[in-house]
Amino acid sequence: EAQVTQNPRYLITVTGKKLTVTCSQNMNHEYMSWYRQDPGLGLRQIYYSMNVEVTDKGDVPEGYKVSRKEKRNFPLILESPSPNQTSLYFCASSLRDTDPYNEQFFGPGTRLTVL
């Protein structure tokens, strides 16, 4: 089944404790990205990747890191989480980086709470 998977689905952590949210897709997509969803704000892009070893900042990159060592994986790293990073996080992927009309497939979301 074609899908985007994220782990963990739920995470409660404390301020300053490094964490990684994994994202993996099995559709051989070049383009991958991370969004965060906050009440009343919709979804905002954090980072994106056009292909392996190619990443760039989105609209709200502060406090986050990413890497793209393999085509299928795009982990989101919070080196020192803070309470303002409490949010619902989505990973998304699509087939071709030069065709924005392509559907972006979303993962199931990761609910992160930073105490």
Partner 1 sequence: AQTVTQSQPEMSVQEAETVTLSCTYDTSENNYYLFWYKQPPSRQMILVIRQEAYKQQNATENRFSVNFQKAAKSFSLKISDSQLGDTAMYFCAFIPPNSNSGYALNFGKGTSLLVTP
Binding region for partner 1 (CB under 8 A): 31, 33, 35, 40-45, 48-50, 56, 58-59, 88, 90, 92, 94, 97, 100-101, 103-104, 106, 108-109
Distance between CA atoms of 15 and 13, rounded to whole angstroms? 7
3-state helix, strand, coil in the chain (%, to 5): 5, 50, 45
Q: How far is the CB of 25 from partner 1 (least distance, A)?
A: 14
Parallel, antiparallel, or unpaired for β 10-13 and 110-114? parallel
C-beta of 103: minimal distance to partner 1 in Å? 5
14/54 with CB nearer partner 1: 54
